[in-house]
């Protein structure tokens, strides 16, 4: 979902980039992306990911391989000059190989605190970005994760 009064759809896709460990197996884990153009001409590549379990597991298809696969999806689908925003529940804390690998390739913009900090936002244009934690929702529709908000300033 995006604001159609501010963005024009350019392309989108989905690809599996990881898989849960046999220790806590639910299946393969994907990355969904959309490429949009703002009314001012700025092009943005958004990619969302829900990472493999168990939380912070390394090795196999859960650790740094997942990070490499995410970066491959970005390289194959983003265009030169695009602002890149990668976000999601990575099921990985900051010390995990998954997150350490992403830290080498994109600017870490903001992370949540729930479950030891498994929700992250990255970008190639994160300078001056302002993030905040909006907390968890209340009631039956609330989440076990914090809602994160980041404002980016594209130049």
pLDDT in tens, 77-136: 999 999 999 999 999 999 999 999 999 999 999 999 988 889 999 999 878 888 888 877
Q: Give φ, ψ of 61 to 5 degrees.
A: -95, 15
**Distance from the Cα of residue 28 to its chain's centroid:** 16
Report the alpha-carbon distance of residue 140 to residue 61 in Å, rounded. Answer: 33
Mean pLDDT over the full length of the chain: 91
Which pLDDT belongs to residue 144? 78
Give pLDDT, residue 61: 67
Decide: 37 and 43 in contact? Cβ < 8 Å.
yes
Q: Name the nearest CA neighbour of 50 among 73, 20, 78.
A: 20
pTM: 0.91
Lowest mean pLDDT among 26-30, 61-65, 74-78, 113-117: 61-65
């Amino acid at each position: 979902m995006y604001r159609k009064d501010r963005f024009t759809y350019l392309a989108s896709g989905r690809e599996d980039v990881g898989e849960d460990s046999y220790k806590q197996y639910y299946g393969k884990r994907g990355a969904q992306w959309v490429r949009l153009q703002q009314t001012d001409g700025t092009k943005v590549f958004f990619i969302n990911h829900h990472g493999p379990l168990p939380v912070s597991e390394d090795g196999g298809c859960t650790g740094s391989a997942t990070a490499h696969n995410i970066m491959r999806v970005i390289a194959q689908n983003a265009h030169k000059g695009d602002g890149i925003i990668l976000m999601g529940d990575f099921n990985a804390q900051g010390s995990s190989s998954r997150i350490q690998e992403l830290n080498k390739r994109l600017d870490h913009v903001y992370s949540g605190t729930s479950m030891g900090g498994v929700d992250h936002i990255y970008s190639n244009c994160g300078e001056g970005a302002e993030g905040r934690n909006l907390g968890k929702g209340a009631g039956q529709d609330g989440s076990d994760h914090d809602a994160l908000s980041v404002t980016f300033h594209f130049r």
